[in-house]
Chain A
Amino acid sequence: MTKVLRRPVFFIGLVVTLALFAVALLSLVWTPLPPSRMNIVHKLKAPFDFGLLGTDQFGRDVASMLMVGAWNSLSTSILAVALGASVGTAVGVTVAMRRGWVELVVMRGCDIVFAIPPILSAMMLGAFIGSGRFTAIIAIGTFMVPVFARLTLGAALQIWTRDYVMAAIGMGRSKAKITLAHVLPNISNQIIVQVTIQLGLAILTEAGLSFLGLGMPPPNPTWGRMLADAQTFLGQAPWLALMPGMAIALAVLGLNMLGDGLRDLLDPRDDS
């Protein structure tokens, strides 16, 4: 515990991230007002004038929309990162096990996937299956696959050179069993750190997709679309842009700090 408190970056990141998750989960059972209820008589009210954070151009409660937006953004990002991390890790450890031409082909394939930004793949995918949450998850998740594949490949190759792995090979254990018993547990710290950092990136990308109208369709509130809708109201109702903007910035900052903190905390070389 003292180790945690000595690392303010980790601590702040943890608090912000936990708060974000708490708000997102709370929105599932309670919001001040139904987030999609329009009340056009009370449109564009300032914070504290109507509700906690004011209302948007349709008279919807901004605070409720932000809360549900947190859940929409987080759930999409978590699923996308889960997809990227599981596929990417599987690819990475398999390649580390096989090496040879498999490594060459798969890693060049990863380079190609990595070269296509998620916004572009979401647009292409959207043209075929329609845009929405599923498209966003696939697009962001696909983009994350090479990130995790590269990371796990590098880390796993190191593990494969360790003495205890050599011993296991010598004892005639199969490569698949060694991967499960020795390689994966020993690279899990690095994967956890990467997941945290990628989660921040996924939230940012999800917001970008929603901003462009490629995210979850209305009436589901998303931070990105709230930001897009606020543009022409910037003069009259600046809070409409400030609130979701701050929410995105805070969420990304929190997750990045948590990721950095975790990296320091889990790094076996830093035990001083």
Chain B
Amino acid sequence: MGRMRFWGSATMLKGATFGLAMAAGVLLAQSGAEAAPKTAVTVGMAVEPSGLDPTIAAPVAIGQVTWQNIFEGLTTIDRAGKVQPQLAESWQISPDGKTYTFKLRQGVKFHNGVAFDSSVAKFSIDRARGADSVNPQKRYFASIDTIETPDAATLVLKLKQPAGSLLYWLGWPSSVIVEPKSAADNKTTPVGTGPFKFVAWAKGSKVDLAKNADYWNKSVSVKLDTAAFRFIGDPQAQAAALKAGDVDAFPEFGAPELIKSFEGDKKLATVIGNTELKVVAGMNNTRKPFSDRRVRQALMMAVDRATVVEGAWSGYGTPIGSHYTPNDRGYKDLTGVYPFDAAKAKALLTEAGYPNGFTFTMKAPQMAYAQRSSQILQAMFAEIGVTMKIETTEFPAKWVADVLKAADYDMTIVAHAEPMDIDIYARDPYYFNYKNPAFNDILAKVEATSDAAEQEKLYGEAQTILAHDVPSLFLFVMPKLGVWDAKVKGLWENEPIPSNVLTDVSWAE
């Protein structure tokens, strides 16, 4: 409370200014008090997407503008993370799990007037799985052998082997249905079947959407007439835009340390939800000394996850013990497998042949969470005699080239955004260079069954293997720091998949 003592006069001044601003705000609000509820919303995002076609590029920002607003899929993922029917009304799976028969919805039209039918669905999936496809999740379509369209309302997928997660994958932003004639231009002028139409994209500033009056789903009533996504990278500017009312909502606010400054502001609601953003410090598992499992385990024990969360993200976040979040199905809390114990860490390091520690380089992206977490890890490793140099590596371009593609690194740190992506540790090549046949086996079994309980048990086993092998240092799950106008209703509190679904958004009276 020493702060009050020293900055009392400044606080009073701020109070007086705030009072004036409030008075002005009240006057302004009264002048328009009798108006009907607003039908426009401006949603803020930290990162501007590179294009607007989620089927050709990986950045999650693309889906966060377009998914469920402009584009829809055969299936969708609801706010609880469950698979729901969308452009496919229903489906049947053959007993051997290798034939999926979808009954498609009739009367659905794209924003350009073209009707949706089985040929359009076949086109979309063929485009995503084709030889020259650049779909970011192309491997999810690899199990599909042939696609048949017996009639306009039926789509049959014949698989090479069972794919237990296929329906879930079909709900992803990268699996949305696109229309053949307009598909090539979706990057700049997206055309979908969703409740909003694309209007304009002012590069560097915002994307405008307008209500699709002919939306097929009459069971939802879209309350918004227009919506805009505005891109503001700097957290200070994000806070200013929210306080000034230039932006109505920031579903993923950028700076946890600024969240407290919204408390006491009755106009704004602060909603802390969960996400799939797993912050992990990946190691190059084939490079010495990380090729020794004991070294990786020792480094894990040198880390006090709670302190990392406190220091890097102001205490907002949940420690994890494997590449899995508490909101994923079949989650097991494995933070106790290698808990913080510097003495044990040092002993294990000695056993592995590094009694005096070693020196390595951390390639850390420039984002605040990565920079701060690296500095905390650096201090923690120093306690067990390990010297970590930090090299800031610009994300995405340089990081993707150096780490993700070339795997030329010792350790790195990044938040993995995709839900249920524990299978990245089974991929070869992938930047961890982690190879464990037993682990790959379990993930193959997950796809071979469509029994949810069995899948969850297998996911539990997979998590346990990773917690013991420590291919990455599993740190924490980032929360979704949502800040929005208290009158805005219907935004997702949690983020089972990166998105900004506006279908149910409305303004309270």
A57 touches B311 (CB 8 A): yes
Stretch at the interface among A4-12, A43-51, A94-102, A188-196: A43-51
B390 touches A58 (CB 8 A): no
- In the complex, A46→B186 CA distance in Å? 52
B378 within 8 A of A: yes
Number of A residues near B (Cβ < 8 Å) is 27
B7 touches A238 (CB 8 A): yes
Of A59, A131, A232, the contact of B235 (CB 8 Å cutoff) = A232
- In the complex, A38→B375 CA distance in Å? 9
Residue ID in chain B nearest A49 by CB atoms: B2
| Chain A facing B: main interface SS | loop
B2 touches A236 (CB 8 A): no
B390 touches A217 (CB 8 A): yes
A234 within 8 A of B: yes
Of A46, A213, A218, A237, the contact of B375 (CB 8 Å cutoff) = A218
Of B3, B5, B375, the contact of A58 (CB 8 Å cutoff) = B375
Interchain nearest-CB distance for B402 vs A (Å): 12
Interface bits B376-399 vs A (CB < 8 Å: 1, else 0): 101100100000011110000000
Residue ID in chain A nearest B375 by CB atoms: A218
- In the complex, A235→B310 CA distance in Å? 18
B255 touches A49 (CB 8 A): no
Interface bits B20-42 vs A (CB < 8 Å: 1, else 0): 00000000000000000000000
- In the complex, A263→B5 CA distance in Å? 45
Contacts of B307 in A (CB 8 A): 40
Interchain nearest-CB distance for A150 vs B (Å): 35
A158 within 8 A of B: no
Of B10, B257, B310, B368, the contact of A40 (CB 8 Å cutoff) = B310
Of A57, A219, A234, the contact of B378 (CB 8 Å cutoff) = A219
Contacts of B379 in A (CB 8 A): 36-38, 58, 219
Contacts of B376 in A (CB 8 A): 38, 40, 58
- In the complex, A58→B313 CA distance in Å? 11
- In the complex, A45→B5 CA distance in Å? 12
Residue ID in chain A nearest B388 by CB atoms: A219
A234 touches B390 (CB 8 A): no
Of B236, B375, B392, the contact of A131 (CB 8 Å cutoff) = B392
Of B5, B261, B382, B391, the contact of A235 (CB 8 Å cutoff) = B261
Question: What residues of chain B have their CB less than 8 Å away from a CB belonging to chain A?
Answer: 2-3, 5-7, 10, 235-236, 255, 257-258, 260-261, 307, 310-311, 366, 368, 372, 374-376, 378-379, 382, 389-392
What are 29 pairs between A and B in contact, CB < 8 Å? A36-B379, A37-B379, A38-B311, A38-B375, A38-B376, A38-B379, A40-B307, A40-B376, A43-B310, A45-B2, A47-B2, A49-B3, A57-B311, A57-B372, A58-B376, A131-B392, A213-B366, A217-B389, A218-B374, A218-B375, A218-B378, A218-B390, A219-B378, A232-B235, A232-B258, A235-B258, A235-B261, A236-B261, A238-B7
Task: List 10 tightest A-B contacts by C-beta distance, closest first.
Answer: A49-B2, A46-B2, A46-B3, A232-B255, A40-B311, A38-B379, A235-B261, A218-B375, A217-B390, A40-B310
Question: What residues of chain A have their CB less than 8 Å away from a CB belonging to chain B?
Answer: 36-38, 40, 43, 45-49, 57-59, 130-131, 213, 217-219, 231-238
